[in-house]
Structure formats: structure tokens, C-alpha cells
A and B are shown apart, each in its own frame.
Chain A
């Protein structure tokens, strides 16, 4: 009689399960250390030193942000303060944010903190997606700062027209966030969530900073598609 095969031995499979699980868990923990270092938020010093971080620091709000194709990586990346022509950020071109382009790290961090807290306190993620995660009842906010609706002045005209004054992009966004029910763009309307002016400014800072995060090219071709759609 042949000996009983190890393949039908429960102890063998129990040990295998333990080893496989342990190995996978250790690998995940190791990768977590590497990823954590790569996605830690940058600082103002990084920006001054022209260091590209996957998650730039809060003072990125002082700079012009675009989303352009990097020939080297073959996908779109956030470009901060101008493009060197090869898909790298120059960290030069500034952009006024609520009238200033010299927000200190402390000020910018406070705005971002308030905005991120606000995004949670108002349950943004249960209608919108952020970095593609959340609910699908309203548009994705990952690159909303760069949306053509704001870039080409459509929303500024609607909101500014209602209020009878000229508004910058960030001012119009903050106004929209405080009174979304006044500016419907679709039958599905954002409700008034009691967002204060200060909170709205914080949320806009949060959205601008989020648009500067390197998301490996998600969403693809954002705002690049022009011309005839549905025969229009």
C-alpha cells in the first residue's frame, strides 16, 4: 500500500494557508512603507526647490496648475507653474487665489485642513467621486478645479451675472458651494448644505490642491475633447 499523499492532508493545507497569508501580508506591509513615503504631502520648501511630489504641499494653491500629457510617462500629469516642454513642472508661473499668490505655508495648510474637514462633514463623497471613489450621482471632483465649465468662464458668467459682479474662478466656486440651489446646471441639483464662506474657501483650496495630485493619468483626456459630440 502506498503512503497517504500529503495533498490530502489537512495539516499541509493549514500550513500552506498560513504561509501564503503571512507572505502576502508582509509584502503588503512592505509596499505600504514605500507607498506612504511616496504619497506623503510635500512642503513649501519642496515647491521652492522645484521638487515634484505625488501629493504637493498646500502652497501649491499659489501656482497655476494644468493637466498635460507627459511624453515620457505616456499619460497626463499635473503641471505646476508651467511646463518645461517635456512634461515637467517649472514651479514658476503663479496664479492669484482669492486675490493673493503669496499664501504662507501655515495659511494654506489651515485652508486645506478646513476644506478637507468640510468635504467630510458635508458628505461630499456620497454624491460625488473624489479620486474616482464615492458615489456616482454627481460629477467627479478629482480635477474639478481644471474643469472647462470654470476655465472658460461659463460658471463665472452665470454666478457673477446673478450677483451682478465680476468673479474670479475661485470666488465663483466658493459662491456656488454656499448657494448651489441658486445655480442649477441640471435637473439633478446640489442641495444647500449650509457651507459658510470660510468653509467654501477652504473647500476650493482643497479642490485646487487635489487637482495637483499625480493620479497616474486618471481621468484620461480630461477636458481635451472638443468638437462635435452627439452631432451637436
Chain B
């Protein structure tokens, strides 16, 4: 774009990462819509783009856009935090293109080849067929190389420049994040062992390292957007790290109730995962508290203007604080105890939780980072809400919340009819699926999905037109 106010190479690279993330976000929603239509009209694209393929693309686009946005967020904040330009940025840029090329190839293979014969070749070049990490083995290796490049950039920069609390947390967190991926890169005939390690990647990403990442980003956001005091913010960050890892690491037990693993995971999983919502409450309180505190201090000085320098980004950050608590915390707690999970495990309940948690905990804050990047790129001092930005955030949030409620109702029907009443068989499954409450819930999920997608289009429009919008203070 013509008016680029960025002087930092690192921030430049961040905008590339965030842009590709936004494109993949759109793709995620599109494939989600296809899958949602298939629940309502099973014949839709049958034999051409079956549900399994739509869903693979839906969830993998989700994971990958978030990873892209996370890398982008780190490249964005590094110069601000460390006070120096990111080291090894040329390699970082090369890694970006390798990453993008790999993702494009993987998506094309998923779309056009879809499945392969039962052989190692399929695992290496077509699909690994393990939910969330279906990417074939060659791509796994590529992802590890790219992630290591990113971690190296982060470490070299963090060690040479000013090493703030935020940077220290990110360094520790990102190396764990990259390292854990290795746990998902082997094949075994033993499905219990398979799922045991599969959860090391999935759970320790989304319920541990990603959450800590969000804590660090929220801390950065509070400092840059409302001028919160670093000492306070970083103290909170360390408390959150202790609480998140303290509950989240052993909270993994709630995935080990029914996969062949010993019964002691019931107690461990129940106890620690029941504690998982606590840090999320703390994060929410912390964000609001800091906001009130800085605004109050400014008001006391006779200045009645807002302390927020980027309204849309701040809305997404506050939404994150609440959405994380509601989606990951409350909706997760609903079914985390083994006595309940025995009936809810593997139903739309999980899907309801998944939608609200991924949105509330991650999508929100990463969209907030996109707004921060747009602000910086266009040299805006104070970024204001626009009609489009308000409509976008309202429609996306309302849409996701609507989908979540619909899926929760569908989950209830499954739990009651398919599980409790009929005992979980094939016939029980389809009896639950045919119930009017279930089918109506699926209709509503589709409608809410469309609203979410329209909201996304408005979001894209708002982000793309910010540069020309005279409403913002420059």
C-alpha cells in the first residue's frame, strides 16, 4: 500500500503474517459454512467435497490462521518491547514464504486428492488423518523448520535487546509451543498411545501454551493501548502463567478419561481442569481493573478524554478477556467432570465449547492485533470505531454466540437421547440426529454461521479501508 508508515522490518513482516492469517480466517469460515450446510442438506457436495474434507479444511485453516497471527503478533511487538530491530529478519521473511507455500500445497492436496491408500506414502504426502494435525508428514517437518526459525529470531532478539517480562514469557512459551508439535509426528498401531500423544499437541497448545501467549499479548495490548503500568501488568502476567500452567498442564487429564488410559486420570483431570477457569476469571478482572485504573487516574487530572488509543482493537481485547472466560472457562467446565463427560464426550457439546473457546480465547485477541497493526501501518495516533467496525464485531460475536447456543442444544439432545436413553449405538446416534430439536439446532447453527461470515466481510472491509478513513486522528 502507498502510505506505509512502518520503519521496522519486523513490523513489516508482521503485517504479512497478519494479512495471510485474515485470508485463512475467511477460508475457515467458508469451509465451516459448507460443513454446516451438509448437516442440514446431507446431499450437498456429496462425493465431491464430503463433510470430512470440509471439516479438515475448516479446523486446519483455523489452527493455521491462528499460528500465522501469533507469529505476526510477536514480530509486531518485538521491536516495541526489546527496543531493537528483530534479528534475522531476512531468514524470517524467507520462512514466511516457505510457510505460505507449504500451506497452499497442503490445502490443494486436501481439496483435490483428499484421501489415499492405507500406506506410509499417504501419511507422508496426503493426510495423517489425525484431527487438527492432518497435515502430511513432509509439511510437519516444514512447519517445525519454520517454527524454529521464528523461535530463533525471538530468542536472538530477546537476548540482545531489552528483555522485558513479556518477552521472557513469550520466549519460554514459544519454545514449548514449537517443541510440543514433535509429539504429534509419529505413527503407531496402538490407538490409545496415538491419542495419548495427540493430546500433548492439542491440549498443551490450546489449554496451556496458547493461553499463556494470550496473557502476554493482552499485557502488551494494555501497555500500548491504554498506557497501563508495566510493573502491574507484568506482575499479573507472572501470576497468570503460574495459574495457567499450574492448572492447564495436568488438566490434560480430562482427555484421558476414556481412551484406554488408567482410571486415576479421572481424579487428576477433574481436579486440575476444574481449576482451569480460575486464571481466565483473573485475566478478565485484570483487564477491566487496569482500564478503570488508568482512566480514573487521567480523569483525576481533569482530563475527561478516553485513555484508549485504539478503540476497535480494545473492544476485541476486552471481548477476549470475557470470551476466554465464557468459552474456555464456563463452556469447558460444563463437561469437564468425568461423571458428566461420560455422556457428553464426543457430542455436539464439545463442538459448542470448541466454537466459543477458539473464538473467545484466540480469534478475538488476534483480530485485535490486526487492528493494532493497521493502526501502526497507517500512522494513526488515535483509532476510532467506525460503523463498519461496530457492525463487524457485533455480527461476528453474535453469530458465534448463536452457533454456540445452537450446538449446545444439539449436544443436549445427543446426551439425553443418543447416550442416556438409548445407549450410544448406531441406531441411537441417528435417532438423536433425527430429533426435531437437533435438526432445528442445526438450522440455527447455519443461520448464525452466515451472520458470522457476513460480519467477517465487514471486518475485512474495515481493516482494508482504515488507511483512507479521515475519522482517525493522525
Chain A residues within CB distance 8 Å of chain B: 8, 10, 13-14, 16-17, 20-21, 24-25, 27-28, 31-32, 34-36, 38-41, 54-55, 58, 109, 112-127, 129-140, 142-144, 147-149, 181, 185-189, 191-194, 196, 199, 202-203, 206, 210, 213-225, 229-230
Given contacts A13-B242, A39-B190, A136-B348, contact A121 B249 (CB under 8 A): no
Complex Cα spacing A130 to B250, Å: 23
> B52 within 8 Å of A by Cβ?
yes
A230 touches B431 (CB 8 A): yes
B262 touches A24 (CB 8 A): no
A40 touches B433 (CB 8 A): no
> B7 within 8 Å of A by Cβ?
no
A202 touches B118 (CB 8 A): yes
B132 to chain A, nearest CB (A): 10
A126 touches B46 (CB 8 A): no
A123 touches B115 (CB 8 A): yes
The B259-307 residues at the A interface (CB cut-off 8 A) are 259-266, 268
B131 touches A134 (CB 8 A): yes
- Supply 16 further A-B pairs (C-beta < 8 A) apart from A55-B192, A188-B38, A218-B258: A13-B235, A13-B239, A14-B168, A25-B249, A39-B193, A54-B261, A116-B188, A117-B119, A120-B128, A130-B195, A136-B347, A143-B424, A181-B47, A218-B342, A219-B419, A220-B343
> B42 within 8 Å of A by Cβ?
yes
A147 to chain B, nearest CB (A): 5
B423 touches A220 (CB 8 A): yes
The B35-60 residues at the A interface (CB cut-off 8 A) are 35, 38-39, 42-43, 46-47, 50-53, 55-56
B351 touches A116 (CB 8 A): no
Complex Cα spacing A109 to B234, Å: 54
A220 touches B424 (CB 8 A): yes
A135 touches B246 (CB 8 A): no
Choose among B38, B47, B260, B429 the residue that contacts A213 (Cβ–Cβ < 8 A).
Answer: B260
Interface class of chain B by DSSP:
helix
A140 touches B429 (CB 8 A): yes
27 pairs from A and B in contact (CB 8 Å cutoff)? A13-B235, A24-B246, A24-B250, A28-B249, A31-B268, A34-B262, A116-B191, A116-B194, A117-B119, A117-B122, A117-B123, A121-B119, A123-B114, A123-B115, A126-B56, A126-B129, A130-B191, A133-B198, A135-B55, A136-B346, A136-B350, A139-B425, A143-B424, A148-B427, A187-B43, A220-B343, A222-B423
Name the A residues within 8 Å of B249 (CB-CB).
Answer: 21, 24-25, 27-28
> B470 within 8 Å of A by Cβ?
no
Most buried by A among B47, B117, B188, B260: B260
Name the B residues within 8 Å of A17 (CB-CB).
Answer: 238-239, 241-242, 245
B258 touches A216 (CB 8 A): yes
Name the A residues within 8 Å of B422 (CB-CB).
Answer: 225, 229
Q: Which 6 A-B pairs have the closest CB atoms?
A: A120-B129, A118-B118, A218-B258, A13-B238, A219-B424, A132-B346
Given contacts A14-B238, A121-B117, contact A186 B189 (CB under 8 A): no
Name the A residues within 8 Å of B35 (CB-CB).
Answer: 137
Name the B residues within 8 Å of A217 (CB-CB).
Answer: 258, 342
Given contacts A189-B46, A221-B424, contact A194 B192 (CB under 8 A): no
Name the A residues within 8 Å of B425 (CB-CB).
Answer: 139, 147-149, 222-223
A120 touches B130 (CB 8 A): yes
Question: CB-nearest residue of chain A relative to B429?
Answer: A139
Question: CB-nearest residue of chain A relative to B114?
Answer: A123
B311 to chain A, nearest CB (A): 30
B235 touches A136 (CB 8 A): no
A191 touches B191 (CB 8 A): no
Name the A residues within 8 Å of B348 (CB-CB).
Answer: 136
A220 touches B342 (CB 8 A): yes
B127 touches A120 (CB 8 A): yes
> B16 within 8 Å of A by Cβ?
no
Complex Cα spacing A184 to B78, Å: 56
Name the B residues within 8 Å of A132 (CB-CB).
Answer: 258-259, 345-346
Given contacts A10-B235, A55-B260, contact A219 B423 (CB under 8 A): yes
B134 touches A134 (CB 8 A): no
Name the A residues within 8 Å of B194 (CB-CB).
Answer: 116
B123 touches A120 (CB 8 A): yes
Name the A residues within 8 Å of B391 (CB-CB).
Answer: none
B39 to chain A, nearest CB (A): 7
B165 touches A225 (CB 8 A): no
**Interface flags, B123-147, vs A, CB<8A=1, else 0:** 1001111110010000000000000
> B24 within 8 Å of A by Cβ?
no
B247 to chain A, nearest CB (A): 8
> B22 within 8 Å of A by Cβ?
no
A185 touches B129 (CB 8 A): no
Choose among A21, A40, A137, A210 the residue that contacts B191 (Cβ–Cβ < 8 A).
Answer: A210
Given contacts A21-B245, A140-B429, A218-B342, contact A117 B195 (CB under 8 A): no
Complex Cα spacing A14 to B231, Å: 12
Complex Cα spacing A136 to B434, Å: 14
A172 to chain B, nearest CB (A): 13
Most buried by A among B116, B134, B189, B195: B189
A39 touches B260 (CB 8 A): yes
A199 touches B242 (CB 8 A): no
Most buried by B among A142, A149, A181, A219: A219
> B257 within 8 Å of A by Cβ?
yes
> B97 within 8 Å of A by Cβ?
no
A67 to chain B, nearest CB (A): 11
A44 to chain B, nearest CB (A): 14
Choose among B127, B189, B427, B433 the residue that contacts A123 (Cβ–Cβ < 8 A).
Answer: B127
> B333 within 8 Å of A by Cβ?
no
A132 to chain B, nearest CB (A): 4
A131 touches B192 (CB 8 A): yes
Complex Cα spacing A189 to B43, Å: 8
